Structure 1
Amino acid sequence: MARFPKALTFDVVGTLIDFESGMMDALQKLCGVAIEREAFLSAYRGMRARGQTLPFPQDLKPIYLQLAARFGLPETEAYADAFVYAAKDWPAFADSVEAMQRLGRHFKLVAMTNTQRWAFSGMEKTLGMPFHDSITVDDALCEKPDTAFFGFARGRLSRDGILQGDILHVAQSQYHDIGVARKLGYTVCWIERRKAIGGFGGTIAVETLTKPDYHFSTLKELADLADQGGLQMLYS
């Protein structure tokens, strides 16, 4: 007998929110400097991979200050702070709002984001307030791929009678989400947002890709499958 998810948990930044375009747009508006997109994203990815001590997006401040000279950006704290606070206004991917509305007709939707609550609140509004619940870095006190984040989320969902075997985890990042969720035994859906572009962009790279249970390049494709009744759980 087919078994369907009770809840879909979502990574937000990179999966629903286009952080790459958001950062580039913010730099253009704030600084008026034309920057080669992939070069900046590659440098940003390298900085992220070193590890940061501040929560996201506060960690964008030291990253900005360390990359400013290389890309001809103003080397001031005021510009770095503005770059950080622009995160709450980053745009959604073109298909995110409608697809989330459609998915919300079938499943409970829960955000699992490494983003601080203040920034997530702006992103949630941009997405049309689709979530039944949300777990941020401020709640979990750790960041994915730490398994403790997933443990915190499971505990939260268990209050509503939703167990791990009822959850489909949806994400773009192989590093932060897909790899660890698969190892933990989740049914996972990889939204490969950069499939048409290639490379990892601003997302931390992995040496080996984890094979997901579902694999799409857009969120619309996931919503289409759900509307057709074809989105089923593969693990219990």
Structure 2
Amino acid sequence: MLSGPKPEWLTFDCYGTLIQWDEGLLAAVDAILANHPGSNVEPQTLIRVYDKYEHALEAERPHRSFRSVAGEGLRLAMQELKLACSPNDVEVLTGTISRMPPFPEVVSALGLLKAQGFKLCIISNTDDDIIAGNVAQLGGHIDRVITAQQAGAYKPARQIFDFAHNALGVGRGDIVHICASPHLDLAAARDLGFQCIWIDRGTGRKPLPDYAPDAVFPTLDRVPPFLASTVWN
């Protein structure tokens, strides 16, 4: 359960929490593989190998843009799977991200949270220009967007969350973070000690064995009534 005073800000992971990342990534990979007729690589295999390289590249220093990370991650994944990666393949991937839509309940849920008096901020592992297309689909409810590009670091690194909290002018105890990613956002909540609501959309991603979020819901529309019923100190 949540505790403390009512927070001024709610922060959100974007992709997978607000935006249909898995569905959009699968569509992008299907389109990429369609450009390689004769390949017997399954879309989920390419996604799995791509994820491996993406997360490894995000942890490297110096920081590089997500557009660069995504392109290099795709190239390395396709190389491992014996596929030639073209600039068009990279553009299919990076160009698809901005057009990925929100989950059906998200815009109305964000509106309800705004009506409850919360300010809403996204903290996302992406670039400003990529996420702009996604934020434009969120009904004008988002007050602030903080990206890995601005912070010079990717989740779950402490740096991006410290950057966000400083930018918002709040302490870790003064926000509630809402996310769908166990190994990025929940790991940071465990290590940094901020309150966190996990949106478990049934993707098969497992919670961390040594951390329990403050609340778990299957969809975002369960969050407004939960917060409305929370007794703040």
TM range (shorter): 0.7 to 0.9
Residue 5 of structure 2 corresponds to 3
Residue 174 of structure 2 corresponds to 166
Contact 1:112 1:135 in 2 (8 A): yes
Residue 216 of structure 2 corresponds to 215
- Return the alpha-carbon distance in structure 2 between the equivalents of residues 153 and 32 of structure 1: 39
Cα 1:18–1:231, aligned 2, differ >3 Å: closer, same or farther? farther
- Return the alpha-carbon distance in structure 2 between the equivalents of residues 72 and 102 of structure 1: 48
1:15 Cα shift?
A: 1.2
Residue 137 of structure 2 corresponds to 126
Paired amino acid for 1:41: I
Contact 2:29 2:46 in 1 (8 A): no
Deviates more, 1:23-32 or 1:8-17: 23-32
Q: Within 5 A, what are the aligned runs for 1:82-231?
A: 82-106=92-116, 107-158=118-169, 162-193=170-201, 195=202, 197-199=203-205, 208=209, 210-226=211-227, 229-231=228-230
Q: Within 5 A, what are the aligned runs for 1:22-61?
A: 22-29=24-31, 31-32=33-34, 36-52=42-58, 54-61=64-71
Paired amino acid for 1:26: A
Cα 1:233–1:147, aligned 2, differ >3 Å: closer, same or farther? farther
Residue 203 of structure 1 corresponds to none
1:74 Cα shift?
A: 5.9
Query: Size of the alignment, in residue pairs?
Result: 222
Cα 1:209–1:129, aligned 2, differ >3 Å: closer, same or farther? farther
1:41 Cα shift?
A: 3.1
Cα 1:129–1:71, aligned 2, differ >3 Å: closer, same or farther? farther
Contact 1:31 1:73 in 2 (8 A): no
Deviates more, 1:24-33 or 1:58-67: 24-33
Contact 1:154 1:164 in 2 (8 A): yes
1:73 Cα shift?
A: 6.2
1:179 Cα shift?
A: 2.0
CA RMSD of aligned residues (A): 2.7
Paired amino acid for 1:220: D
User: Can you give the 5+ residue segments of structure 1 that lack an aligned partner in the other structure?
Assistant: 201-205
1:118 Cα shift?
A: 0.2
Contact 1:15 1:172 in 2 (8 A): yes
1:35 Cα shift?
A: 6.7
- Return the alpha-carbon distance in structure 2 between the equivalents of residues 151 and 69 of structure 1: 36
Determine helix, strand or coil for the equivalent of 1:68: helix
1:32 Cα shift?
A: 3.1
1:99 Cα shift?
A: 1.2
- Return the alpha-carbon distance in structure 1 between the equivalents of residues 104 and 210 of structure 2: 25
Contact 1:174 1:210 in 2 (8 A): no
- Return the alpha-carbon distance in structure 1 between the equivalents of residues 16 and 93 of structure 2: 17
- Return the alpha-carbon distance in structure 2 between the equivalents of residues 93 and 184 of structure 1: 28
Deviates more, 1:37-46 or 1:133-142: 37-46
Please, what TM-score do these two structures have when normalized by structure 1? 0.81
1:38 Cα shift?
A: 3.6
- Return the alpha-carbon distance in structure 1 between the equivalents of residues 100 and 44 of structure 2: 18
Please, what TM-score do these two structures have when normalized by structure 2? 0.82
Cα 1:209–1:128, aligned 2, differ >3 Å: closer, same or farther? farther
Determine helix, strand or coil for the equivalent of 1:126: coil
